[in-house]
Structure 1
Amino acid sequence: MGLKNVINIEQKQVISTQQQQSLNILSMTNVELFDFLEKQSEENPVLEVESKWIEQKKLDAFNQVVDKAITLEEYLIGQIDVERFTHHEINLLHILIKMIDSQGFLKENESELLKILAVDDVTLYRLLYYIHHLDPIGVGSSNFRECLKFQLDAKGLLDEVLERMIDFYLEALTKGNFGKVAKELGISTVQVKSYYQLIKVLNPKPGNGFGIKDEQYITPDLVLNLTNDGYELILERQSLPQVTISTYWEHMMKEAQNDDGAKAYLESKWQAARKLVQAVEERKKTILAVGHFIVERQYLYFKTGNSKYIKPLKLKDIAEAIGVHESTVSRAVNTKYLLCSQGIYSLKYFLSTAIGKKDTQLAGNGMENVSKESIKEHLRELIENENKAKPLSDSKLQVKLQEMGFEISRRTVVKYREELNIGSSFQRGTLHV
């Protein structure tokens, strides 16, 4: 093998190693990157991480605030399965989650929630049921008793006896009055104690253990501000420390001039630190570039807050626009968040598939194709505004959507309706008989 080939192979290996490090850093959440940078700064004297950030991190540890203990709101929003809901429903879930207090409870009653969300009771029940079964189970319950029952039900343990114990006998159980409870429930004391053991291991306050909402070190990756002439998109600077090459390393190199071992060691550390700084900067640039493309594509949504304006967007679209591989974009949108006037959203929230549109009704908005979620939102509105005494059949819904310009089959109408958890016209009509 010639010397030239050896050099080319080595160069490719170096580039591959650098690229791999950049991709790994891009994949990390802010919390993971915090830990990684701190460890690297401890091992590499040439690498300098902002001292103010390190002090804050140590203070957080002293106060037993775990970095991974993000706010309850962020944790719940991050669990939402965006493929399961329309954008409108996701926004409703966001509203409900924002109303959950620090202990994990949603204190507003059903009538208040119906008024706030402007939905029917079936929709409200479905959204609340979904939230109650996020992690931690029972979050969003109206009180701790309801929360305990959700947890037992999720484990398949809830029965009539446990329900009565939770509703009427918790105080007696905590005082050890097992005989009295056994007598009134008509079961043995052994059974009472067995049931009580099941209750004791439950979490009566699902919000405990999560960060406070205004903790400064818990921040989104990007912040969007709409202006009179457009928008401003910035990286949240407090989310990451400043990482630089130590200015003291040159002094250390001079002192090591007569020590080949020390000099080689410092050279290797300098190279490692330089590559790490470059990788962190590349991470910032990539996330910002992806964010700009998303905001520009979905600008009407950010401006109006109406999910009808969510446009189709794929990883490939972003990758081609900013000149990177799809896998890079995938890493950039995964576990990265954007703060806007509508709330905090995962960047993945704005990715959706395209459906053809054959007329020019929305051509002024550049929407030759629309997202699946947008069509589902139109379908939902058609059903919400139908004559409740004469619900629209799937065929009639298909016709109305086609009149709006959407190229959609009856089978697809049925599929979308079922994804929205909306019954057939017969079922909807029966509900209003």
Structure 2
Amino acid sequence: MSEPAVRLEPSLKTELRITAELKQSLDLLMLGLPELTSYIDELARENPALHVDPPLWQTSGWATGRPRSKNRRISNESDPYDPLSALRAPAPSLSDRLKAELRMRPLDSRLLRDACLIVDALDERGFLGVPLEALAERFARPLARLEAALVIVQSLDPPGIGARNLRECLHLQHRRLGEPLPVLSAIIDEHLEDVARGRLEAIARRLCVPIEAVVEAVALLKTFNPRPGGEFAVEAPVYVIPEAAVQNDAGTLTVILYDDVLPRLSIDPAFARMERRLDLDPRTRNYVSRKIAHACKLIDQVEARKATLARVLEAVVRRQREAFLHGPERLKPLTMQVIAEDVGLSVSTISRTVREKHIETPWGVIEFKRLFPSPVGGSGDEATPTTSDAIIRKIKAYIDAEDKTNPLSDEALAALLHQEGVPVSRRTVAKYRAMAGIPSSHQRRSPGNGRSVTTTP
């Protein structure tokens, strides 16, 4: 049996290869402002020929959610973006506040230590999520002493602190009012879920009380804080800094790039002088030239990133002109494919340009991608394509105007939208209503005035 012959045949084919330079350009394009700044800092550590001046928001302590315009006057009275605000002392934590209050009480040292131990065990809500038995075993403390310390902690401000669950938290706040309401106590014990679902008449029937008593008790219940420690939670602020703005000057829309929010790149002067020296040995000259060439390419790529952002934003402004003139309710459905055809770039390039970018508009700082709302509806002869934001605004308007004793169901809201040429399903309405944080019709229902419910035991 003969072995198969092995032959080499030349062939021509076209394939796309991504060079290191192209990959770096794509990486720069899709990075948001903080990531871009960190990436450039990393490259600068590897390339001594690259000189980086940090952006204004990084050096001055100014991180405000919008960049400082070049012609803005700097005044302590008129400028809300005060760099000294970063030097202000942080607000005391919940633990600090409670321990300070404990030290003002006439407590013996052992009880004070036990109370501080319980304070340290509170979670961000102000609840004691650890059983007292576990604390007693872990720290070798008598359980009776910890129980006495817990009573002291629960007497501190804010009311409800030190509770072991939601019901105890609400009861603690109820007792602080002086004379408790029996109806409210029963509601806290047995009917919190009914309150959440707006079933006040059912509560009245089960407790055999007038509906007015339930309404009064629920109104008082809604003034309680289910997370008494939440107001003291310290979260690191997240600052959003736009890279560009769209300004409306008497109907003329202008795109402005904020150059001062980006790192300022240049060639290090010492390296530039070194390259011009005539006495350098070839190996050193080659190293210096390569580093300077890499730095120049990065500078060009950052400038290309800015130019691409400007081109894409200008194309979006032309397509969404009505929204920039009259408000976000005029946003029209827009796809990245349309913008890609307008500017002569690929859809993937548009996607990278939009990613993680923020734009300042006449109606606030927004994510760039919000200017590309997806179409909703639009099927059928009488349907009109619209956006999810527009549907949410319509739903809010309908609910604001509804009869609270007979609120609109999701099905009724879908029917109203259908009459306006937006054929969406009940499920879609429910989804957008939930996105807007609006309760269901059962939860929005208010009992009618003057009615009472009596039942026979």
Contact kept in structure 2, 1:70 and 1:210, CA below 8 Å: no
Q: Give the deviation of 1:46 after TM superposition.
A: 4.1
Q: Give the deviation of 1:179 after TM superposition.
A: 3.1
Describe how 1:205-224 pairs up with structure 2 within 5 A: 219-224=241-246
**TM-score when normalising by structure 1:** 0.58
| 1:382 aligned residue (388, 394, 398) | 398
Contact kept in structure 2, 1:47 and 1:246, CA below 8 Å: yes
- Find the counterpart in structure 2 of residue 233 from structure 1: 255
Rounded Cα–Cα distance in structure 1 between residues aligned with 2:236 and 2:430: 43
Describe how 1:34-113 pairs up with structure 2 within 5 A: 34-41=37-44, 43-49=46-52, 53=53, 65=61, 70-71=63-64
- Find the counterpart in structure 1 of residue 314 from structure 2: 292
- Find the counterpart in structure 2 of residue 348 from structure 1: 369
Rounded Cα–Cα distance in structure 1 between residues aligned with 2:56 and 2:446: 60
Measured at CA, do residues 178 and 309 of structure 1 come closer, stay the same or move farther in structure 2, by a change above 3 Å?
Answer: farther
Segments of structure 1 that go 5 or more residues without pairing to the other structure are 75-97, 104-138, 153-164, 183-187, 363-367
SS in 2 for 1:407: coil
Rounded Cα–Cα distance in structure 2 between residues aligned with 1:56 and 1:382: 45
Measured at CA, do residues 42 and 404 of structure 1 come closer, stay the same or move farther in structure 2, by a change above 3 Å?
Answer: same
SS in 1 for 2:445: helix
1:20 aligns with 2:23: yes
SS in 2 for 1:252: helix
Contact kept in structure 1, 2:56 and 2:261, CA below 8 Å: no
Describe how 1:159-308 pairs up with structure 2 within 5 A: 170-174=99-103, 178-179=107-108, 189=112, 191-198=114-121, 219-245=241-267, 252-255=274-277, 259-305=281-327, 307-308=328-329
- Find the counterpart in structure 2 of residue 397 from structure 1: 413
1:72-106 residue CA offsets vs partner (Å, 9 max, x unmatched): x68xxxxxxxxxxxxxxxxxxxxxxx9xxx79xxx
Measured at CA, do residues 431 and 42 of structure 1 come closer, stay the same or move farther in structure 2, by a change above 3 Å?
Answer: same
Determine which structure has more spread, i.e. the larger CA radius of gyration.
2
1:30-51 residue CA offsets vs partner (Å, 9 max, x unmatched): 33433443454455454344xx
Measured at CA, do residues 273 and 421 of structure 1 come closer, stay the same or move farther in structure 2, by a change above 3 Å?
Answer: closer
Rounded Cα–Cα distance in structure 2 between residues aligned with 1:376 and 1:204: 29
Q: Give the deviation of 1:375 after TM superposition.
A: 1.4
Measured on the aligned residues, the alpha-carbon RMSD in Å equals 4.6
SS in 1 for 2:356: coil
Measured at CA, do residues 239 and 422 of structure 1 come closer, stay the same or move farther in structure 2, by a change above 3 Å?
Answer: closer
Partner AA of 1:378 in structure 2: K
- Find the counterpart in structure 1 of residue 216 from structure 2: none
Measured at CA, do residues 256 and 42 of structure 1 come closer, stay the same or move farther in structure 2, by a change above 3 Å?
Answer: farther
Q: Give the deviation of 1:231 after TM superposition.
A: 0.7
Rounded Cα–Cα distance in structure 1 between residues aligned with 2:435 and 2:266: 49
Rounded Cα–Cα distance in structure 2 between residues aligned with 1:270 and 1:389: 73
| 1:312 aligned residue (333, 345, 348) | 333
| 2:350 aligned residue (305, 329, 343) | 329
Partner AA of 2:302 in structure 1: V
Rounded Cα–Cα distance in structure 1 between residues aligned with 2:427 and 2:57: 55
Partner AA of 1:313 in structure 2: L
| 2:359 aligned residue (332, 335, 338) | 338
Partner AA of 1:228 in structure 2: A
Q: Give the deviation of 1:278 after TM superposition.
A: 1.9
Measured at CA, do residues 196 and 264 of structure 1 come closer, stay the same or move farther in structure 2, by a change above 3 Å?
Answer: same
Measured at CA, do residues 173 and 318 of structure 1 come closer, stay the same or move farther in structure 2, by a change above 3 Å?
Answer: farther
SS in 2 for 1:290: helix
- Find the counterpart in structure 2 of residue 108 from structure 1: none
More helix by percentage: 1
SS in 2 for 1:328: helix
Contact kept in structure 2, 1:401 and 1:408, CA below 8 Å: yes
SS in 2 for 1:225: strand
- Find the counterpart in structure 1 of residue 161 from structure 2: none
1:2-42 residue CA offsets vs partner (Å, 9 max, x unmatched): 99999x99xx65x5211211122223333343344345445
**TM-score when normalising by structure 2:** 0.56
Partner AA of 2:24 in structure 1: Q
Percent of residue pairs bearing the same amino acid type = 25
| 2:385 aligned residue (369, 376, 380) | 369
Rounded Cα–Cα distance in structure 2 between residues aligned with 1:204 and 1:411: 35
